[in-house]
Structure 1
Amino acid sequence: MKTLVAVDQYIANSVEFAIPILEHLRDLVHRADARIEERMKWSMPFFEYKGTVCHMAAFKNHCVFGFWKGSLIEDELGIFKERSEAMGLLGKIKSFDDLPEDDILIAYIQQATQLNEDGIKLPSKIKANPKELTVPQYFIDALQEDSKALAVFQNFSNSNKKDYVLWFEEAKTEATRQRRLETAIEWIADGKTRMWKYIKK
């Protein structure tokens, strides 16, 4: 099992209820395929084999587990709460009762690993309509943690939304991206656009 000290620390520093859940999810990932390696990206644990397979995170009141290529996985048993390419596929995990059976989740992880093994890529996010904006899933997840910020962002114009998305994508490091994400949530909750400092009053 190829573990990472940084992931050990992430789990240990999580809220108490989340620790056994994260440890269990981590164990299932490595039971599914011993070749999977751990990484820390965007301040959360990722699991990789020939590309990203899945990842997990803990918040104040719940955990999440997602598959990077979730939209390509055949959800024959209907365990996905939301169709997504990233986090939250299993919905908000507050206890072990919110998880599918171990064998089922292992099978899904193996399916996700096989997609990478076969070199299958996600469809291009370039839209036919250039005005349509793709908001990164990590940003959506952060907004969903703050209902006020989410409501404000939904009412932003397309250009105001784009300003924030580009700000994240231009970050040179994951640490910078995370700092910008936290700042953005505070600003948006206050009704501020990305360029609010430059708006003439």
Structure 2
Amino acid sequence: MNPEIDNYLSEGCGRCQLVGTPQCKVHNWQPELKLLRQILLDTGLTEELKWSMPCYTYKKSNIVMLAAFKEHCSISFFKGALLKDTHGILEKPGENSQSSRRIPFTNVQRIVELEATIKAYIFEALEAEKAGLKVNFKKISEIKLPEEFETILNENLALETAFKALTPGRQRAYILHFSSPKQSATRISRINKCTPQILSGKGLNDK
């Protein structure tokens, strides 16, 4: 058990101003997150803190992540698209998600009912990683840009040039980041916030 995850459960992820308060989303799902954590630890994966969230790895490769949201908590498989999903419980985090898949939970009972299935999916994901299986990503040209981002690129030649100069992986990360909010205003806010980083040739998670 990683003490950093103990701190995550007690204080929150620290990615917003609600950290350490009862309003933090992590506090909404304490029983569920703790049970999911125990199930993940039982599989023998290494417990780490990445992107301020619990991440479970095998030889430094990311396999599964725990997360808390307003309406549910979840476990997410980094290469979930490779799983057979025989029980039909995996869902895409977003419309353009190509690799990751998640299982959302809103109560402890469902976790208890699915414990054996969850472990089976984790072991399947682990075997896929050991076998070196890869997700076949669509080309960037096949992924629809959010309308707001397309409009901004058409109006800003420097930004368009800088974005096209990024590696496909960095382009994909930005597109998924911009596409995920439901509200247009939020999508535009994300684009504006990331514009300086794109212009400097950096990826979404580059420092």
2:9 corresponds to = 11
Q: Quick one: distance in 1 between partners of 2:177 and 2:141?
A: 22
1:163 corresponds to = 198
Equivalent residue for 1:134, pick from 143, 168, 172: 172
Q: Quick one: distance in 2 between partners of 1:103 and 1:28?
A: 9
3-state secondary structure, aligned to 1:38: strand
Matched AA of 2:123: Q
Q: How far apart are residue 163 of structure 1 and its match?
A: 3.1
Equivalent residue for 1:26, pick from 27, 34, 37: 37
1:47 corresponds to = 56
Q: Does residue 90 in structure 1 map to residue 103 in structure 2?
A: yes
Q: Is the 8 A contact 1:125 1:134 kept in 2?
A: no
3-state secondary structure, aligned to 1:81: coil
Q: Is the 8 A contact 1:79 1:90 kept in 2?
A: yes
Q: Is the 8 A contact 1:56 1:63 kept in 2?
A: yes
- In the superposition, the TM-score normalised over structure 2's length comes to 0.61
Q: Quick one: distance in 2 between partners of 1:137 and 1:98?
A: 33
Equivalent residue for 2:81, pick from 56, 71, 74: 71
Q: Deviations over 1:36-94 (max 9, x none)?
A: 101111111100013111001123443222001111111111001227433x6224x33
Unaligned stretches of 5+ residues in structure 2? 13-25, 143-162
Q: Quick one: distance in 2 between partners of 1:12 and 1:62?
A: 18
1:152 corresponds to = 188
Aligned length: 161
Q: How far apart are residue 140 of structure 1 and its match?
A: 6.0
Would the alpha carbon gap of residues 136 and 67 (structure 1) be closer, same or farther in structure 2, given more than 3 Å must change?
Answer: farther
- In the superposition, the TM-score normalised over structure 1's length comes to 0.63
Q: How far apart are residue 120 of structure 1 and its match?
A: 1.8
**What is the CA RMSD across the aligned residues, in angstroms?**
3.7
Q: Is the 8 A contact 1:82 1:90 kept in 2?
A: no
- Identical amino acids, percent of aligned pairs: 24
Q: Does residue 115 in structure 1 map to residue 153 in structure 2?
A: no
Q: How far apart are residue 104 of structure 1 and its match?
A: 0.7
3-state secondary structure, aligned to 1:120: coil
